[in-house]
A and B are shown apart, each in its own frame.
Chain A
């Protein structure tokens, strides 16, 4: 008798089946969407049909009348902001997280200042950030930075602390100073999980980018959506959302790929 495959978490699933099921679900939703909107069950002001969204997407991608691509322009701005904030998160967040992981004293000092924001809505800080940093580019980048760094720092700290003590002891026994033991024995082993923290950080930024760009943005995907909503162009709102989701997914997959290339030994630890 073979094992059942339905309620069995260990049942193997072929790549083929995985793909079929995944694509099937997407197609089913598209179909449902098409029926609901196409038959007029829900007004197009609330839910535009898939083909209307596709048309809006084409228009946004290339506006022949004005010889411009609204989508490309908005995407470049949003990606630029995520990259700028991401660079800040990596340059500031990783060292702080590593130091907290390496020093229980520093961790005890800083974690009450950082950890609460993991569960608190960072969006609530937006008004304060507008007061402090104005409504310009700096505010947007700093908002993304704060939103992501409060996730990243605790993850980096935990990555460092998850490395078995044996590596530290062994390095110390060989004559390493405490700093050397952290740098040469602990940190290299924490790197894959630190990379995970960066991936989460960037994903978080893609969720906050729209919020950041709702405030006085002249460019960006968030602004594009906000603008379209103001003119009740629901088809463009949907197109913009789909582009953001696609970018978030794409950057996630890309970062996962890079991480696997950089740390091929991780799963074999």
Chain B
């Protein structure tokens, strides 16, 4: 199963997102006309903190912030169908794991099966089977009865990942999922993600502000500028995973890193000069 078994696509068409400014005098444009077509593979959305990349990811998941219409204009299409609410095929994994502290690991992972929507679609035996399988895949079989407070940060993130995988999503949306972890744990989690992806290739959209993470994981890297977010760069990485340290130090990888950093730098100076002109 090396080739993606489940063809799926996400298409963003001229996405604009504006929020009213705090003093109410005008609007702040955070996303400015993004058009992007994503296909199966690990797609990295790379940009500085607060550039609006999470907002874009939320749109793909169909999760809307309250009180504001998102997107302000433009459409998100999943398999060519406009996506306006939580989508069965797209599941998000957050940096704050959102694990329920009163439930055990297995109860947290099986959480979606408490909901009417999935109870109607997946019977108890199938749910059980998927739970066992997913716990094994993320390496939590030995922690089934533990509470989140008894787990490390990395293990908690495994629980959150498993809760998404148990639904067998064709689209996995990851919002800086490893951002709060220490370097060693982050490397382990990246490895785990690659392993899970290889076993069951799907469409992963992975938001990060970490250039190294983007180069370690991505089949494709989309670089976003900040305030408002625009696509600054978009390129593929053909090097197979797992990517060795030797490759990461190769001319190819270093060039990519320099290219990304110069794009981000150009974007930030642009912003600074804009501020002076205002």
Contacts and interface: CB of A to CB of B under 8 A. Distances in A.
A166 B116 contact: no
Interface string A175-217: 1110010001100110100000000000000000000000000
A180 B115 contact: yes
A175 B111 contact: no
A263 interface: yes
List of 7 A-B pairs having minimum Cβ-Cβ separation, nearest first = A268-B149, A170-B98, A175-B117, A265-B101, A174-B112, A173-B92, A166-B96
Contacts of A41: none
A217 to B, nearest CB: 42
B79 interface: no
Nearest to B58: A169
Chain B CB within 10 Å, residue with most, of A164, A167, A176, A188: A176
A43 B228 CA distance: 80
Nearest to A191: B102
B63 A173 contact: yes
Contact of B102 (A174, A175, A180, A188): A188
29 contacts: A164-B96, A166-B94, A166-B96, A167-B100, A169-B63, A169-B94, A169-B98, A170-B92, A170-B98, A171-B115, A173-B62, A173-B86, A173-B92, A174-B111, A174-B118, A174-B163, A175-B88, A175-B117, A177-B116, A180-B115, A184-B111, A184-B115, A185-B100, A188-B103, A189-B101, A189-B102, A191-B102, A266-B101, A268-B149
Given A180-B116, A184-B114, A265-B147, A174 B101 contact: no
A167 B115 contact: no
A172 B98 CA distance: 12
A172 B100 contact: no
A268 B98 CA distance: 14
A265 B108 CA distance: 15
Interface of B: 61-63, 86, 88, 91-92, 94, 96, 98, 100-103, 111-112, 114-118, 147-149, 163, 167
A74 B98 CA distance: 49
Interface in A125-178: 164, 166-167, 169-177
Contacts of A13: none
Contacts of A176: 115, 117
Chain B CB within 10 Å, residue with most, of A172, A175, A188: A175
The majority secondary structure among interface residues of chain A is helix
Contacts of A170: 92, 94, 98
Given A265-B147, A268-B101, A175 B92 contact: no
Interface of A: 164, 166-167, 169-177, 180, 184-185, 188-189, 191, 263, 265-266, 268-269
Contacts of A173: 61-63, 86, 91-92
Chain A CB within 10 Å, residue with most, of B91, B98, B100, B147: B98
Contacts of B116: 177, 180
Nearest to A267: B149
Chain B CB within 10 Å, residue with most, of A167, A172, A173, A176: A173
A267 to B, nearest CB: 9
Contacts of A269: 101
Contacts of B98: 166-167, 169-171, 185
Contacts of A268: 101, 149
Contact of A174 (B96, B115, B149): B115
A180 to B, nearest CB: 5
Given A171-B98, A173-B91, 5 more contacts: A167-B98, A170-B94, A174-B112, A177-B117, A265-B148
Contacts of B114: 180, 184
B115 A175 contact: yes
A189 to B, nearest CB: 7
Contacts of A166: 94, 96, 98
Contacts of A172: 63, 86
B100 A188 contact: yes
Contacts of B63: 169, 172-173
Contacts of A189: 100-102
Nearest to A179: B116
A163 B19 CA distance: 24
A172 B101 CA distance: 18
B13 to A, nearest CB: 22
Given A170-B94, A265-B147, A268-B149, A175 B112 contact: yes
A176 B119 CA distance: 11
